Amino acid sequence: MSELAPLIEDLAFILVLAGIVTIFCKKFNQPLVLGYILAGFFASPHFNLLPNVVDTANITVWSDIGVIFILFSLGLDFNFAKIKSIGGTALIAAVTELTGITLLGYACARLLGWQPIDSFFAGAMLTMSSTAVVSKTFEELGLLKERFTQFTFGILVLEDISGIIMMVMLSTIAAAGAAISGTEMLGSIGELAFFLIICFVCGIFFLPTFFRKVSRYLTSETLLIFSLGLCLSMVVLATKMGFSSALGAFLMGSLLSGTAFTETTKKLLTPVKDLFSGIFFVSVGMMVDPALIIKYALPIAVLTAALIIGKTIFSSLGVLLAGKDLQTALCCGFSLTQLGEITFIVASIGAALKVTSDFLYPVFVAVSVISIFLTPSILRHADKVSGWLLRNLPARLLRLLPQPDEAPASDEQRSA
């Protein structure tokens, strides 16, 4: 009888374990991402009460595929029409938040004694919230139709773009070595710009025309296979040119978002993305080492506090500066108080390329797990906090703040 491959044993174990843990997370109203991370910890050598994964190298390969599909899916959701529909609110809020949180995170990291490069990326990684966690939490709490959610998702899109820029920066610094100069950085930015222009020209003029001409021959199965083939081809091309695989996946997703088959592709991709992204989050959980958490307890506590307090303040301030009322601003701010999947990707790329220190990855995994766990509770208190502020802030200050948008008058009211 033939011997079963270790990969199949590992997949059977982690998928069943992940299924059981996520059921409990659903029962206790916690995000599924948290369940995957916990399942990964239970399957890791750091937890001895259950069997451990046999071949971690294979799981790493599968998790890399998960990163690709997560970014591909984000790209499919990214289009300029979506950003334009929310006006300048998301842009003003995102710039305010990104600037404030990056500076706050950098200052905290420097006070902890970290090197400048680690401090910079620590501050930047604190800016990236989780689209998956936010959307799941909104759905579970029945908030998807609330007015503030469109602004929140707009900010998340811009945060994802900043994460892509960080990946490019990591690849550039790694390729140039420690002695990177301004000229080398400008050269890399020029190469990236040329690469993006070529890709977008091909995407604008070739892909929509191609899909229109072959639309009658595209079955669901063919569309899925062809889309995944295009995604992986762009990943290969981006890697060959010295950029990250995540950038290639995101770019192909954004190119396909301009075709007539975007929504169909997203629906077909969902189970594939769920499988591989679940394995990715399980692999993240396998990196959770209690010994390291104890060792870096102070940085984890400091960065978690900086994340929750800083996100609430700077995100809310940005939305206020964009002209929205206090309640809308606070709801947006409370929604973004967690670290997301892009943070893991950036941290793992930084560690793999030896640009950042190895301890950054487990520290940010711990911060993310804590913040994800707290997200539903924090969001539930947004209305209470905004109501308390509206009752207790000085009337003079309240008059200076933007007021809630008035609902448009009905035809009957206008004719009265």
CB distance 132 to 353 below 8 Å: no
Cα distances (angstroms) measured from residue 275 to each of 63, 68, 103, 269, 344: 10, 12, 36, 10, 17
Whats the size of the chain, residue-wise? 416
What's CA 24's distance to the chain center, in Å? 24
Pick from 86, 98, 96, 95: nearest CA to 152:
86
Percent of the chain residues past pLDDT 90, beyond the cut:
12
Instruction: Place 199 in a pLDDT band, splitting at 50, 70 and 90.
Output: confident
Place of tokens 């629906």: 267
Tokens of 21: 């843990």
Q: What's the predicted TM-score (pTM) here?
A: 0.72
For the chain, how many helices (H) and strands (E)?
Answer: 21, 0
Across residues 313-338, what is the average pLDDT? 87
pLDDT of 16: 93
Tokens of 152: 């929140």
**Type and span of the H or E element at 398:** helix 395-400
Segment 241-265, tens digit of pLDDT:
777 777 788 888 888 887 778 888 8
pLDDT of 79: 62
Please classify residue 409 by burial: count the beta carbons closer than 10 Å to its beta carbon, then call 0-12 exposed, 13-18 middle and 19+ buried.
exposed
pLDDT of 88: 73
C-alpha 118/C-alpha 357 separation (Å) is: 7
What's CA 64's distance to the chain center, in Å? 15
Segment 397-415, tens digit of pLDDT:
767 677 666 433 333 343 4
Segment 12-33, tens digit of pLDDT:
888 999 999 999 988 887 778 7
Across residues 230-245, what is the average pLDDT? 83
**Type and span of the H or E element at 92:** helix 89-111
